[in-house]
Amino acid sequence: MTELTQIPPRQTSLWKKTDKALLLIALVLLAVALLDPTNLWPTLRFTALALGAAAPFLLFAILATAYVQASGAETLLSRAFEGREVQMIVVAALVGGISPFCSCQVIPFIAASLAVGVPLSAVMAFWLASPLMDPAMFFVTAGELGMDFALAKTVAAVGIGFLGGFGVKLLGGTALFSDPLKAFTKPSCCATAALRGAPLWAFWRDNARIGTFKSSFLKNLMFLGKWMLVAYALESVMLSYLPADMIASVMGGNGMRPILIGALIGAPAYLNGFAAVPLMSGLISQGMAEGAAMSFMIAGGISCIPAAVAVWALVKPRVFAAYIGFALLGAVLAGTLWSIF
């Protein structure tokens, strides 16, 4: 008989299978239960009430995102990289600032576009604007920080796209942006297949798209639900134990200092775009300057791991450094303008 050697299936580690958001909220509640048991029920109550108050905004955002994905509206992205360079920069920044997909979701398309000669300036405009705002983020931000703040952040997202896009265009002839791509296998012609065609706005006429709508709705419901639970639990703990005087002294008041601190802390400390919104709301109530909150959210949104990895995967370190530089500069400008107006 021939002896057959069976290769055992690859085992997925327990850590990889563990949902990090749920683990984090469990650790937060466990810490409160062990260190301050009397505050456990107030923390749970605060979290539940806050989540209930935000539910209408979350539900609308989830439905809007599911509709966009089911209709295939992402196919419109390809049109942002058509025409003259200036036109591409403007359209890429606008699309990036309002679209429901971020840099990390369209890596194959971006790679293919760069490989066939789409200017880095237009791609940089999209890269900088896209992580900052989408329909779901807009309504969550409006619900927590007000419609004015949400609109200002949307304008900031597009403005930073302009800043990076035209900045790259002006410096395009320098060594900084020459030969920007890492050595990678040229994408196949099917890399952009998912972004071709025309959207079907009446998606309910197609069974496959109905399935996409349901899948997107459930996926985003779970994603937003768990991260908002994390955010409200952390906000409750922060309000209970973080001295308001300390927040006000470090990140409160007028001037550039709190804005610069917000940008410098936001870049490495960003947890999740949706979780950051309630946390900023809590910090503002503790004395944090709104300009600092704006700079924190802008710098952190652009430099968060998913967005940063999308850029790092495709371009050389000097171009990635420029991406981070544009993010910090844009964050400081956005925070300054918000504090003035």
- What are the pLDDT digits (tens) for 248-257? 777 777 788 8
In angstroms, rounded to a whole number, what is the distance separating the alpha carbons of residues 15 and 297? 29
Angle in degrees, CA 303, 164, 69, rounded to 5: 65
Measured CA to CA, the distance from residue 275 to residue 226 in angstroms comes to 9
- What are residue 71's phi and psi, to 5 degrees? -75, -15
Angle in degrees, 0-180, between the axes of helices 256-269 and 244-251, rounded to the nearest 10? 110
What pLDDT, on a 0 to 100 scale, did the predictor assign at position 59?
A: 84
pLDDT for residue 295: 93
Q: Is 128 helix (H, G, I), strand (E, B) or coil?
A: helix
What Rg, from alpha-carbon coordinates, does the chain have? 22
DSSP 83: S
Three-state DSSP class for residue 33: helix
Angle, vertex CA 132, rays to CA 129 and CA 135, nearest 5: 105
pLDDT of residue 332: 95
Q: What is the pLDDT of residue 118?
A: 80
pLDDT of residue 159: 95
Question: What is residue 108's predicted lDDT score, i.e. its pLDDT?
Answer: 59
Task: Using 50 as the pLDDT threshold, list the residues of the chain that sit under it.
Answer: 1-7, 185-194
- Count how many residues are written for the chain: 341
Q: Are 134 and 95 in contact (CB under 8 A)?
A: no
> Would you state the pLDDT for residue 3?
43
In this prediction, residue 12 carries a pLDDT of: 54
- Scanning 242-304, the segments in alpha helix (DSSP H) are 244-251, 256-269, 273-285, 290-303
pLDDT for the residue 106:
60
| Cα 43 from Cα 73, distance rounded (Å) | 40
| Sequence-separated (6 or more) residues with CB below 8 Å from residue 287 | 244, 245, 247, 248, 249, 251, 252
| Global confidence as pTM | 0.76
